[in-house]
């Protein structure tokens, strides 16, 4: 049993084997880096694009684009970067709901935007796709402390602009990693807090050597026992980049990754346990031969993921610039379970006399490779801004299972596999987008994308899959500048997306379709900024939860013919004075399935699961003196259902949580450039709340979140 979107981590271990060696790809990548470097040394011009322009201009938008979006920069991230994961740091953005399996924001965390789960949020890192190709989810636990290497991020709500990777059905999140530094720097950060949470980070940069070269890196380690019993995390990560800066050239080679070992806390708890023992964790529980209840000490998830990226950006002229990237990701790992009274036949074990069941320990493995390229060219004149781009990516995944111990081992040998499955997925897209200034006040936006997806799989769960999808995704909009402070925009976007691996287990499934309409108003003055928009997202054949689960607890989805999301989003920044700032936001929405039928039973119009009608946030910042920031962060999430048929037992109660953040920066005259002391008290009023759950048929299970807890940190820069 897992959450409806976090359980995909366990799901992706299911299904295939055939290991493909990518050594040649890696070798050719770095050979290509050498050739690019040789070419770059010969360039002679006068301009280098900013890093934002270089790496993410093809997937990011500005206020000139009729798209709803929010930005977070490095400065805003650092105040709360004490070990909790990126979704938790984004919790106060409009229409965002976050959750944590362990209850304290460390380990497995997840995010929903406008009610859409992580499988429907397209995530890119420097324009490179990050979503898991098969499950379509994003596993932040594989990149611990990645926030320490993020320069900025942009969350586009709705379909957004064309991007690489999985189709955006609720939002797109693109992250830009650290820029290069002109001067040498060093940084040491440590934090500690509740549940024995400890984070240590070391960063460095050589600065630009000979005005051209920089090497920078980071090492991080995070440990936490978690709020939930035994929900421990042991996370390690690294980040290394080399940068060449020429007069018209920027070349960046990045290597980053992480390892994670988390004790499973996927199961959740039932309503009775929620009232009597809210930190209880059933994972690993079994009864030994003497009748004693015990917990297996290695009921863990173990995964290692390494990313390689190479970016070459060139400013050809004042009008033309290009970006080309190669990438490769290697992932390998398993999760381990103690299985009590397992059917021996399911594990290819012969009966031992009359014994047909046995206690055993199994591992479900995933060994995968993901590689490809992205590219774009940008043309800019006084009235016209055009971007042409695309990408091609391939995924190859081996899924296999091992029994590493059995009470009755029968004929098995160490290393035997009880299943072997293999899957491949290729994903290619090309797009063209343009902003054209029709008049002094009116601009036109257009965006056309063609995407081809081929997916093959062979497993007992999915059967033999060999699907080929061709998607055309047009987008268009108008941006009207009323005056220097006010802008109106309207946009239409079409999105199509393929089913994920688990969807094929539910039988015949169709791709989903979405028409997204956005109408917005932006107001920007010196002391007051306001963004507001109304959205209507009309779905055809949306894949919704049925209430059924597969053999590892993943929710099975099925197509519903018609559904929609209609909402109003408002966010503002209000400078009350030089010392006080307010940043409120709220979302009001109606999210409905129309004429819903599940397993032949008609339910009429119902609410879409995991889609609260009210989401609100607020950040109150007080700056009494230079360097001291005090913030009260507030989040309200309205009630929501955990299935689509509105069972009373499937309702999650609303909650209102307050956090307090303090940061004080000192700038000494010697030794250190800055000393920053940071503190975070989460849930200051000790609210007992549940942010997520799932339905096991008609029975609800919950993921309770921690009461009052704290983190404190010290950052030294030199």
According to the model, what pLDDT value does residue 35 have? 41
Tokens standing for residue 98 = 């976050």
Nearest one of 691, 672, 710 to 187, comparing CA atoms: 672
Residues 331 and 9: beta-carbon distance below 8 Å: no
According to the model, what pLDDT value does residue 10 have? 56
Instruction: Let me know the angle formed at the C-alpha of 166 by 315 and 502, rounded to the nearest 5 degrees.
Output: 160
According to the model, what pLDDT value does residue 371 have? 98
Per-chain mean pLDDT for the chain: 90
| 670 has a pLDDT exceeding 70 | yes
Nearest one of 591, 698, 564 to 643, comparing CA atoms: 698
When pLDDT is cut at 50, 70 and 90, the band that residue 1 belongs to is very low
Cα separations in angstroms, 288 against 282, 298, 299, 341, 353: 15, 16, 16, 11, 22
When pLDDT is cut at 50, 70 and 90, the band that residue 594 belongs to is very high
CA 500/CA 78 separation, integer angstroms: 35
Lowest mean pLDDT among 170-174, 332-336, 589-593: 170-174
According to the model, what pLDDT value does residue 46 have? 33
According to the model, what pLDDT value does residue 8 have? 42
Overall average pLDDT of the 417-438 stretch: 95
Overall average pLDDT of the 541-562 stretch: 75
According to the model, what pLDDT value does residue 36 have? 39
Residue 35 parent element (H or E): helix 23-40
| 547 has a pLDDT exceeding 70 | no
Pairing of strands 121-125, 171-177: parallel
Q: Which of the two residues, 170 and 90, has the higher pLDDT score?
A: 90
Top mean pLDDT of 118-122, 159-163, 361-365 is at 361-365
Overall average pLDDT of the 219-229 stretch: 97
| Domains recognised in the chain with CATH numbers | 8-717 (2.40.170.20)
Please classify residue 81 by burial: count the beta carbons closer than 10 Å to its beta carbon, then call 0-12 exposed, 13-18 middle and 19+ buried.
buried
When pLDDT is cut at 50, 70 and 90, the band that residue 24 belongs to is very low
Overall average pLDDT of the 106-133 stretch: 93
In this structure, is the dihedral angle defined by the CA atoms of residues 410, 411, 417 and 418, taken in order, positive or negative?
Answer: negative
Overall average pLDDT of the 204-216 stretch: 95
Residues 379 and 319: beta-carbon distance below 8 Å: yes
According to the model, what pLDDT value does residue 556 have? 74
When pLDDT is cut at 50, 70 and 90, the band that residue 557 belongs to is confident
DSSP conformation letters of 350-399? --BTTB-EEEEEEEEEEEEEEEEEEEEEEEE-SSEEEEEEEEEEEEEEEE
Overall average pLDDT of the 609-616 stretch: 96
CA 413/CA 23 separation, integer angstroms: 30
Overall average pLDDT of the 671-681 stretch: 95
According to the model, what pLDDT value does residue 549 have? 61
| 376 has a pLDDT exceeding 60 | yes
Q: Distance from first CA to last CA of the chain, Å, rounded? A: 47
According to the model, what pLDDT value does residue 6 have? 36
When pLDDT is cut at 50, 70 and 90, the band that residue 690 belongs to is very high
Pairing of strands 555-575, 580-598: antiparallel
DSSP conformation letters of 514-546? EEEEEEEEEEE-SSEEEEEEEEEEEEEEEEEEE
SS3 550: coil
pLDDT in tens, 492-521: 999 999 999 888 876 778 999 999 999 999
When pLDDT is cut at 50, 70 and 90, the band that residue 532 belongs to is very high
| 534 has a pLDDT exceeding 90 | yes
Which pTM was predicted? Answer: 0.91
Overall average pLDDT of the 640-658 stretch: 95
| 53 has a pLDDT exceeding 70 | no
Exposure letters 573-584 (e unless 16+ CB within 10 A, then b): beeeeeeebebb
| 17 has a pLDDT exceeding 50 | no
Overall average pLDDT of the 470-488 stretch: 96
| 26 has a pLDDT exceeding 80 | no
Q: Which of the two residues, 74 and 1, has the higher pLDDT score?
A: 74
In this structure, is the dihedral angle defined by the CA atoms of residues 226, 227, 228 and 229, taken in order, positive or negative?
Answer: positive
| 321 has a pLDDT exceeding 50 | yes
Residues 352 and 395: beta-carbon distance below 8 Å: no
């Amino acid at each position: 049993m897992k959450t409806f979107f976090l359980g995909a981590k366990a799901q992706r271990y299911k299904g295939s084997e055939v290991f493909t060696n990518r050594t040649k790809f890696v070798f050719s990548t770095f050979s290509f880096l050498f050739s690019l470097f040789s070419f770059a040394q010969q360039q002679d011009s006068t301009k280098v694009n900013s890093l934002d322009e270089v790496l993410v201009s093809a997937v990011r938008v500005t206020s000139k684009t009729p798209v709803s979006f929010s930005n977070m920069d490095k400065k805003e991230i650092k105040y709360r970067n004490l070990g909790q994961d990126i979704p938790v740091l984004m919790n106060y953005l409009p229409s965002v709901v976050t959750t944590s399996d362990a209850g304290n924001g460390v380990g497995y965390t997840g995010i929903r935007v406008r009610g859409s789960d992580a499988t429907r949020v397209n995530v890119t890192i420097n324009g490179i796709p990050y979503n898991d190709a098969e499950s379509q989810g994003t596993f932040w636990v594989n990149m611990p402390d990645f926030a320490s290497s993020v320069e900025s991020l942009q969350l586009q709500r709705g379909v957004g602009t064309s991007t690489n990777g999985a189709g955006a059905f609720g939002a797109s999140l693109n992250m830009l990693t650290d820029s290069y530094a002109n001067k040498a720097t060093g940084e040491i950060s440590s934090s500690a807090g509740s549940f024995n949470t400890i984070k240590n980070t070391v960063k460095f940069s050589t600065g630009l050597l000979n005005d051209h070269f920089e090497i920078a890196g980071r090492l991080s380690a995070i440990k936490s026992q978690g709020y939930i019993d035994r929900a421990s995390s042991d996370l390690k990560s690294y980040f290394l980049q080399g940068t060449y800066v020429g007069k018209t050239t920027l070349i960046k080679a990045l290597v980053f990754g992480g390892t994670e070992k988390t004790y499973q806390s996927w199961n959740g708890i039932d309503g009775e346990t929620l009232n009597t023992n809210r930190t209880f964790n059933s994972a690993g529980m079994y009864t030994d031969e003497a009748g004693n209840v015990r917990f297996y000490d290695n009921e863990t998830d173990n995964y290692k993921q390494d990313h390689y990226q190479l970016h070459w950006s060139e400013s050809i002229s004042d009008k033309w610039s290009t970006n080309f990237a190669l990438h490769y990701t290697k992932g390998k790992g398993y999760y381990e379970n103690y299985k009590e009274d397992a059917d021996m036949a399911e594990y290819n074990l012969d009966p031992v006399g009359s014994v047909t069941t046995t206690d055993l320990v199994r591992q479900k493995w995933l060994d995968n490779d993901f590689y490809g390229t992205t590219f774009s060219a940008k043309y800019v004149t006084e009235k016209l801004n055009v971007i042409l781009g695309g990408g091609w990516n391939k995924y190859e995944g081996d899924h296999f299972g091992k029994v590493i111990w059995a009470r009755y081992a029968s004929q098995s040998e160490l290393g035997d596999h009880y299943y072997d499955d293999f899957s491949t997925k290729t994903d290619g897209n090309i797009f063209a987008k343009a902003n054209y200034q029709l008049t002094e006040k009116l601009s036109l936006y257009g965006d056309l994308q063609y995407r081809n997806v081929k997916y093959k799989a062979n497993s007992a769960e999915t059967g033999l899959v060999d699907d080929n999808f061709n998607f055309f995704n047009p987008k268009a909009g108008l941006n009207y500048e009323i005056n220097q402070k006010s802008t109106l925009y309207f946009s239409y976007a079409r999105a199509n997306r393929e089913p994920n691996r688990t969807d094929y287990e539910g039988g015949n499934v169709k791709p989903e379709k979405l028409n997204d309409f956005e109408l917005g108003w932006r107001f920007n003055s010196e002391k007051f900024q306001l963004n507001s928009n109304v959205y209507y997202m009309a779905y055809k054949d949306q894949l919704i939860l049925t209430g059924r689960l597969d053999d590892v607890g993943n929710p099975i989805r099925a197509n519903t013919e018609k559904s929609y999301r209609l909402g109003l989003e408002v966010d503002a920044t209000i400078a009350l004075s030089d010392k006080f700032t307010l940043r409120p936001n709220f979302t009001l929405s109606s999210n409905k399935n129309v004429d819903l039928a599940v397993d032949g039973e008609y339910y009429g119009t119902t609410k879409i699961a995991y889609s609260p009608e009210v989401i609100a946030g607020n950040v109150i910042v007080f700056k009494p003196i230079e360097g001291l920031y005090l913030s009260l962060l507030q989040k309200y999430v309205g009630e929501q259902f955990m299935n689509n048929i509105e069972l009373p037992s499937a309702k999650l109660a609303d909650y209102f949580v307050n956090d307090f953040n303090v940061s004080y920066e000192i700038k000494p005259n010697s030794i250190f450039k800055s000393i920053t002391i940071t503190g975070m008290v989460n849930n200051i009023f000790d609210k007992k709340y549940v942010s997520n759950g799932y339905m096991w048929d008609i029975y609800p299970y919950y993921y309770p979140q921690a009461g009052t807890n704290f983190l404190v940190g010290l950052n030294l820069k030199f």
